[in-house]
Amino acid sequence: MKKLPPSEWNLSRRAFLGGTAAATALAALDASASPDATKSLPAPFELEEATVADLQAGMREGKYTAHGLTERYLSRIAALDRSGPLPLSSVIEVNPDALAIAQALDEERKSKGARGPLHGIPVLLKDNIATTDRMQTTAGSLSLVGAVPSREAFLVAKLRAAGAVILGKTNLSEWANFRSTRSASGWSGRGGQCRNPYALDRTPSGSSSGSGAATSANFCAVSVGTETDGSIVSPSSACSLVGLKPTVGLVSRAGIIPISQSQDTAGPMTRTVADAAVLLTVLAGIDPADAATAHSEGHTGLDYTKFLDADGLKGARIGVPREHYYGYHAATDALAEQALEVMRSKGAIIIDPAPIPNVAKLQEHEFEVMLYEFKAGTEAWLASLGDKTKLRTLADLIRYNEEHSDRELPYFGQELFRQAQARGPLTDAKYRKALAACRKLSREQGLDAVMRKHRLDALVAPTEAPPSLIDLVNGDHWLGSSSTPAAVSGYATLTVPAGYVRGLPVGLSFIGQAWSEPTLLKLAYAYEQATRHRRPPGFLPTAELRLLAGR
């Protein structure tokens, strides 16, 4: 990606948002490129690409049980995520109670029937989403091991009430990738380096990297990620998934380790648009512990599957924001052009170009807001843990990392921690000015302006370029992405598979206004049904360079 202009922030947007990898595993990246490496490809998996509807039908018919599904997914995780010369490292821990929970749900199904579409469905959660079971909630940091929160996240309670089986926690970019200016996405001190299941030497991207890699690898039915700027849509694009970043306030953030109170949200990461709609239906809800959810009144309690329409592109007005969001990678642009042709063929009206005003002005203001909100949010989280941790401030975390530098700082530092530590409280005039600028430029003078001018249903742009190589020496290398307008405004965006470049996934983002989830799901579902781009990953050692040589 383009680097931001402020000299103190030598960091790509995706890099900050989105157990240590062994040296032998890193060295194996080159050695594994031989043709013989393909002999270790995973065996066929009975549940590969199974949707929530498939699994529910199987349980109704007696073909599956929740216990059996959980057992199969746990076995696959054990076989592919934690063993071999290059383990995927997408699951940071499994739930020791998952099988017992599944068994109880099977008995309940027999006696009372299913609670709904997620009854007995195994779900993975990002390791910044609080649970009060026997699992940890650490944001990937060793500093929070043992500091179990006193309350579960509101969305976890909703999942449990819906009958979901919490299968485990996923690895992530430590502290949701807001620690270093040279981080490698998918690395955490606790979980090591997560890899991309399409090419094991490639980044899984974003900070919800484990949720993306695990869901794509069929380690669960669906997963939940979190996003501040790109951390759902980026790994979803890199792992050929559907990723939905909801409007801020549609899904409660209570019980989620924060970065930014103005931009954070949780959302679905799934293999199909239909599964994203099922999961969003459960996740959405008003929570008194998160004031932002009060604004979602009228948008919760919906069955989002009702908006799925294979003819949903007919008559839709789609804008193309070429400035800033196209032109950074020719092969990615080519896939986007093919997508636009598909939409035209399905009756969409394409407005091209439809530039988003003021996007170039967002970055510096957004970063300033992040620094202030991260410090305030992190210290509030530490305070909520009470006597379960001795850490109380961001300065304490910085000191912890220095004292455990062999495990926490072996590849990159904590420059963002230090920059945030230098900021004051949220009453500072500098923060308030930056926040006001973000809201004005991204909303009424940004997305709202272009949508109103052209009477658009959505904007469409490549989510990002194909995933780059993992680089623990220099950090992430990004060419471009389209997540920022929806992130800064707090509006909705949804990415869906758009194809592959040398076997590496590329996603297409549908970007809307506040509370536009029904429209985005309709449009994305119609595009998905017309293209069917997603194919399961092959766990190849590297990209398909030889297969496409000379093309």
State which H helix or E strand residue 23 sits in.
helix 23-31
Please name the amino acid found at residue 527. Y
- In the set 12, 89, 126, 185, the catalytic residue is 126
Whether residue 479 contacts residue 465, with contact meaning beta carbons closer than 8 Å, is answered with yes
207 counts as catalytic:
yes
DSSP 3-state assignment of 507?
A: strand
- In the set 231, 240, 252, 483, the catalytic residue is 231
Whether residue 227 contacts residue 487, with contact meaning beta carbons closer than 8 Å, is answered with yes
Residue 241 DSSP code = -
- In the set 183, 207, 234, 237, the catalytic residue is 207
126 counts as catalytic:
yes
Give the burial class of 96: count Cβ atoms within 10 A of its Cβ; 0-12 exposed, 13-18 middle, 19 or more buried.
exposed
d(CA 183, CA 179): 8
List helix spans (H) across 84-232: 98-112, 154-161, 174-177, 209-216
Residue from 21, 89, 137 nearest 407 by CA: 21
Give the 3-state secondary structure of 179-210: CCCCCCCCEECCCEECCECCECCECCCCCCHH
Give the 3-state secondary structure of 307-349: HCCCCCCCCCEEECCHHHHCCCCHHHHHHHHHHHHHHHHCCCE
**Termini Cα distance of the chain:** 25
110 counts as catalytic:
no
The alpha carbon of residue 101 and the mean position of all alpha carbons in its chain are separated, in whole angstroms, by 26
d(CA 148, CA 190): 15
State which H helix or E strand residue 522 sits in.
helix 517-531
**Farthest-apart Cα atoms in the chain, separation:** 63
Tokens at 523, concatenated: 């449009």
d(CA 203, CA 504): 11
Residues with active-site annotation: 126, 207, 231
